[in-house]
Amino acid sequence: MTHVILSNLTKSFPGNPVAAVNTMNLDIPSGQLVAFLGPSGCGKTTTLKMIAGLITPTVGDITFDGASVLAVPPEKRGAVMVFQNYLLFPYMSVGQNVGFGLKMRGVEPKVIDRKVIEMLDLVKLPNIANRRPRQLSGGQQQRVALARALITEPKVLLLDEPLSNLDAHLRDEMRELILSIQRNLGVTMIFVTHDQEEAVLLANQIALIFDGVLQQYAAPDVFYRQPISERAARFFGGINFVPATRRGERLETAFGAFHVRTPGVENAPEGEVTLTIRPEQVVLNPADDENCTSGRIRSRIYVGTYTRYKIMIGDIEIEATRSGDIDHALNEGDAVRVGFPADRIWVVGRS
């Protein structure tokens, strides 16, 4: 149970004028599961390694429960990393791997053996202590790596891309396991990922990082409803962007005026902005005429559980999705009414 605060955290590497991590401020309350999300090279792993103590920040501070840990070496910090490729020591048995941290602390072998069994039970891999790492599947190796980290009772658990090396069905299993461990032990967990799906699946809070700069720090659903920028929206799968001029509730676009009444929009930019709406929120042939315009269906793609429509409104393309079966009333080339619900529209600054 540790409250982690990053203040003005900055890291520049010699010979590189652009800071890898730039003045990052982040408050991670005790027992949270936070994702650092961003494309590769955005500085998320550097930040993680700074929290672990493996990289020294150029500027700024890191505190655990209010006390700075910058002077604490990694081996004493209690921030344990689980690497993406698991890194089980190939020359040790599974049990020796899990017990490694306690051995380093000089714990009695008997106690270590007992704790190792406890930990392997916790990650639901009983009776494999005597096996060699290479005899395990990827998913099993991941669990052993998790057990090896947890045995030291870390203050903060740091995970590098915890789900990305796993098959789809193993991802669900591992997700359940991580969430249940987090619930039971209440340990503060931070993980980095480049995959927004992985972040949304696991995290309570997501810190979106581009080019070493923190963009937005919020609960997962906020990134879908209220992205901070066009780039953030695109990162979460947004594709509809229309230039607009905003005055209060009113949005002027090339194909007509719309009202916007989404909660929180009062803090969004005014003037020259970009209107955005998620494809699943676009309504085709709506019942009432508010916030409505006309277009023509350019293509219809059936994807099984839903159908994707590309609609031309003037020379702007808008994508809309509809769940359920194909609607044979909407065909390629047909004219269609397109509704943007006033409480689903969002605006971001013009980029």
Partner 1 sequence: MIGERWRIPLMLAPTLIIIVVLFFGSLGYGFLQSLGWQPNIGNTTFSLDAYATVLFSPEYREQFWSGLWLTIWVSLASTFISAALALMSALLLRQTFIGKKIATFLFQLNLPVPHLVIAIGMIFLFSQSGLAARAAAQLGMISTPNEFPVMLRDAGGVGIILAYLWKEVPFFGIVLLAILQSVGEDYEDLARSLGANRWQRFRHVILPLVMPGLLSSSIIVFAFTFGTYEVPKLLGVRFPEMLPVMALEFFLNPDLNARAEGMALSMIIAAITLLIVVAYMWAGNRAVQR
Partner 2 sequence: MTVRNRRPFFYLAVAVICILLVLPVITFMINAFAFRWFYPQFIPAEWSLQAWERLQLIPPEGERTLTNWLALLGSSDVIDALVVSLVIGVGVTLFSVVIGLPAARALGMHKFRGKRIVEFMILAPTIVPSIAFVLGLNINFIRWELSGSLFGVALVHLVPVMPYVVLTLSGVFANYNPDFEDQARTLGAGPLRTFWYVTLPAIFPGIVVAALFAFLVSWSQYLLTFLIGAGRVITLPILLFASASGGNNAVIAVMSLIFIAPAILTLLVTSRYLSGESGAVGGFGRI
Which residues of this chain interact with partner 1, rule CB under 8 A?
49, 52-54, 73-77, 79-81, 83, 85, 87, 89, 91-92, 100-101, 103-105, 148-149, 152, 158
Please enumerate, as own/partner, the contacts of 100-103 that have beta carbons within 8 Å and a separation of 24 or more.
100/148, 101/148, 101/149, 101/151, 101/152, 102/151, 102/152
Q: How far is the CB of 54 from partner 2 (least distance, A)?
A: 6
Taking contact as CB under 8 A, which single stretch among the options 52-60, 153-161, 180-188, 286-294 is the one that binds partner 2? 52-60
Residue with tokens 């995959």: 195
Q: Among partner 1, partner 2, none, what binds residue 104 when CB lies within 5 to 8 Å by partner kind?
A: partner 1
Q: Which two tokens stand for residue 30?
A: 């005790």
The answer to whether 56 contacts partner 2 (rule: CB under 8 A) is yes
Residue 116, amino acid? V
Of the candidate spans 49-57, 94-102, 170-178, 310-318, the one that interacts with partner 2 by CB under 8 A turns out to be: 49-57
306 binds, among partner 2, partner 1, none (CB under 5 to 8 A by kind): none
At its nearest, how many Å lie between partner 2 and the CB of residue 87?
15
Q: Which is nearer to partner 1, 91 or 324 (CB)?
A: 91
Q: Which of residues 112-131 bind partner 2 (CB under 8 A)?
A: none
CA distance 178 to 172: 10
Per partner kind, with CB cut-offs from 5 to 8 A, the member of partner 2, partner 1, none near residue 56 is: partner 2
Q: Is the Cβ–Cβ distance between 73 and 55 less than 8 Å?
A: no
**Total number of residues that touch partner 2 (CB under 8 A):** 4
Which of the listed partners (partner 2, partner 1, none) does 91 bind, with a CB threshold of 5 to 8 Å by partner kind? partner 1
Which residue stretch of 50-58, 104-112, 250-258, 323-331 sits at the interface with partner 2 (rule: CB under 8 A)? 50-58
54 binds partner 2, rule: CB under 8 A: yes
185 binds partner 2 (CB under 8 A): no
CA torsion through residues 212, 213, 217, 222, sign: negative
Nearer Cβ to partner 1 (83/224): 83
Rounded to 5 degrees, φ, ψ at 63 are -120, 145
Give me the least distance between CB of 49 and partner 2, in Å please. Answer: 9
* Cα(338)–Cα(289) distance, integer angstroms: 9
Cβ closest to partner 2, residue 6 vs residue 55:
55
- 35 vs 82, which CB is nearer to partner 1? 82
Crossing angle for the helix pair 138-150 and 109-122, to the nearest 10 degrees: 130
Phi, psi torsion values for 34, nearest 5 degrees: -110, 140
CB of 145 to partner 1, least distance (A): 9
Minimum distance, C-beta of residue 36 to partner 1, in the bound complex (Å) = 17
Choose among partner 1, partner 2, none what residue 263 binds, the Cβ cut-off being 5 to 8 Å by kind: none
Question: Per-residue contact track with partner 2, 68 to 107, x per CB under 8 A?
Answer: ------x---------------------------------
Identify what 77 binds: partner 2, partner 1, none; CB under 5 to 8 Å per kind.
partner 1
Query: Which residues contact partner 2 by CB under 8 A?
Result: 54-56, 74
